[in-house]
Amino acid sequence: MNQIENIYFFVMLVSVIITIISLRYAITIKRYLERFTLVSKKVSNKELHARLNISAKGELGELTNNFNSMIENMSDTIEEVEYKHLQLKSILKSISHGILAIDINGNILLINDEAKKIIKSDSNQIVEGKNIAYAIKEEKILKVISKFRGSNTNETTKIIMDDETVYKIKVDPVYLQNTVNVIIGSIINIEDITEKVKLENMRSDFVANVTHELKTPLTSISGFVETLKLNENIDPSTRSRFLGIIESESDRLKRLIDDILLLSSIENTESRVLEKINLYNTFNEVKEMLSFIAKSKDIEFKYEFEDESLCVESNRDYIKQVFLNLTENAIKYTPDHGEVKVIVSSNDEDIFINVIDNGIGIPKDDIQRIFERFYRVDKARSRDVGGTGLGLAITKHIIKSLHGKIEVKSELNKGSEFIVTIPKKIS
Ligand code: ADP
């Protein structure tokens, strides 16, 4: 009986021990699962620094290590992807063109801010994932992109918007990696070329104008030379009249070529040599040159310098050219017995040159255009007074290169005032 009791007691003891061990194990597993749940929750909330902090041995220990190194790998990968995404976003943002990537169905995969502006989409709105048909609010752009979407060749086209903005749209196919014929979408590059087109047009207009301006005196010269050659017995007075015309047309050609060269040199000078130019001395050189024509027209030529030591940082000859063009125009376009006045003053930052006349004045509609190359209010009059139509264009370019500005006040038959403002120091 005693032996049976002992066995019974032993079985009971073993059962209790097993139960205790099982309970402890169950509690450990429960705690582990609780921590596991907590950490995995943190990880899913993007708290990638969270780790399982359990010192367990055996399979639990291995599971902990595997779990931690899985989070570590994931965190590294996410960091790398985020960095690459940020890099891509920064690159896209810094591209001045509009960039748009779409899939084969026209859904937007990627877009930069410039492209968003161009397609008139709301800048706060997320357009990634949307179809171009809904995202692109500019009808003309949508038409071009829809036409070339999925094309297997590089397509380029130019479109002019209603507000006269000109866009160059380039659509390139995107191939599936390692294939040459499976197209998965397109990359669209939209460039605003309005200024470029304007410049190209200006350049070709300029060439056409120059050709025309040079052709007129040349035709006249060759005509009179031909006449003189064919009529050897021409009377001396007619001969000298013809030679006089040839001489004045040659002078005109020379003036034109000089002005064209000067204009192009101002436009092309990138590294300008700046010196301190004394305004009073420079003006005096111009006054010497112009006094004769002023006197011949009995024009009162006055000037006023607030400070004769006033200097401006400029290129050699630029300030002289400004004085010369404006004062010569004032004298040219003022009838006999008129008055021309040059006033030079300054404040702490700027120099002001005012050239005032009481001449023919400029019609309101022409004021904005007189700075254009070869623009003349009255072509015949300008030609009669030896004008090339380039003087004010040259003046404006010089003033622009000195970071200044030029304004005009004028009233027809009353007179004009040109006001030049140039900073004393050019930074
Ligand atoms: P131009 O060689 O014909 O004088 P500019 O470029 O110097 O060319 O001037 C352009 C045009 O502006 C002139 O043809 C003239 O019609 C007008 N203009 C310029 N200055 C004056 C002025 N002081 N008074 C009236 N018209 C002027």
pLDDT of res. 273:
72
What does the pLDDT look like over 112-154, one tens digit per residue? Answer: 989 999 998 877 788 899 999 999 989 999 999 999 988 888 9
Q: Please name the residue whose Cα sits nearest to atom 16 of ligand 1.
A: 377
User: In which band, very low, low, confident or very high, does the pLDDT at 169 lie, cut at 50, 70 and 90?
Assistant: very high
Look at residue 248 in the predicted model and tell me its pLDDT: 92
Judgement on whether residues 369 and 390 belong to the same structural domain of the protein: yes
Distance 414 CA to ligand 1 centre (A): 15
> What SS3 state is found at 334?
coil
* Pair (244, 143) in one structural domain: no
User: In ligand 1, which atom is closest to the CA atom of 355?
Assistant: 23
CATH number for the domain harbouring residue 143: 3.30.450.20
How much distance in Å is there from the Cα of 402 to the middle of ligand 1? 22
Both 126 and 222 in one domain: the answer is no
Residues in the chain: 427
Identify whether the C-beta of residue 287 lies closer than 8 Å to the C-beta of residue 304.
Answer: no
Are 262 and 282 contained in the same domain?
no
pLDDT one-digit tens code per residue, 240-254: 999 999 999 999 999
Tell me the per-residue pLDDT of 2-25, one tens digit each, with 9 for 90 and over: 788 888 889 999 999 999 999 988
Q: Which of 155, 177, 192 delimits the end of a domain?
A: 192
Distance 218 CA to ligand 1 centre (A): 23
What's the CA-to-centroid distance between 243 and ligand 1, angstroms?
28
pLDDT for the residue numbered 271: 55
Instruction: Say if residue 279 is in the same domain as residue 427.
Output: yes
How far apart are the CA of 373 and the centre of ligand 1, in A? 11
Q: Which atom of ligand 1 is nearest to the CA of 376?
A: 14
pLDDT tens readout for residues 187-216: 999 999 999 999 999 889 889 989 988 998
Among the candidates 192, 223, 251, a domain finishes at 192
The residues lining ligand 1, judged by C-beta closer than 6 Å to any ligand atom, are 325, 329-330, 333, 357, 359-362, 370, 375-378, 382, 387-393, 416
CA angle in degrees (0–180, nearest 5) for 13-18-20: 95
CA of 330 to the centre of ligand 1 (A): 8
Q: Which domain holds residue 37?
A: 2-89
Ligand 1 atom with minimal separation from the 361 CA = 25
Ligand 1 atom nearest the C-alpha of 389 is 8
**pLDDT score at 426:** 66
In 3D space, the residue among 321, 359, 308 whose CA is nearest the CA of residue 337 turns out to be 359
Question: Are 172 and 106 in a shared domain?
Answer: yes
Do 282 and 409 share a domain, yes or no? yes
Classify burial at 184, counting beta carbons within 10 Å of its beta carbon; exposed 0-12, middle 13-18, buried 19 or more: middle
Ligand 1 centroid, distance to 210 Cα (angstroms): 18
Instruction: Read off the CATH number of the domain in which 306 is found.
Output: 3.30.565.10
> Can you tell me the distance from the alpha carbon of 118 to that of 100, in angstroms, rounded to the nearest whole number?
11
Give the residue whose CA is nearest to atom 12 of ligand 1.
Answer: 370
- pLDDT at residue 1 tops 70: no
- Model confidence over 95-108: pLDDT tens digits? 889 999 999 999 99
Choose the residue to mutate in 213, 297, 372, 376 for probing ligand 1, maximizing ligand atoms within 8 Å of C-beta.
Answer: 376
pTM of the model: 0.67
- Domain match, 290 and 264 both: no
Q: What is the pLDDT of residue 185?
A: 92
CA of 417 to the centre of ligand 1 (A): 12
Residues 286 and 353 in one domain: yes
Percent of the chain's residues with pLDDT above 70: 98
**Same domain for 422 and 280:** yes
- Does residue 162 register a pLDDT over 70? yes
> Domain ends where: 66, 89, 112?
89
Taking the CB of residue 28, how many other CB atoms lie within 10 A of it?
13
Q: Write the CATH number for 198.
A: 1.10.287.130
- State the amino acid at position 278 in one-letter form: N
Task: Tell whether 343 and 423 lie within a shared domain.
Answer: yes
Measured in Å, residue 333 CA sits from the centre of ligand 1 at 7
Radius of gyration (Cα) for the chain, nearest Å? 42
Query: How many Å lie between the centroid of ligand 1 and the Cα of residue 322?
Result: 13
Which atom from ligand 1 is nearest to the alpha carbon of 387? 2
Closest atom of ligand 1 to CA, residue 325: 7
- Are both 293 and 206 inside the same structural domain? no
Name the nearest CA neighbour of 312 among 240, 390, 398, 379: 398
What total number of domains does the chain contain? 4
Pocket test for ligand 1, best of 328, 382, 412 (most atoms within 8 A of CB): 382
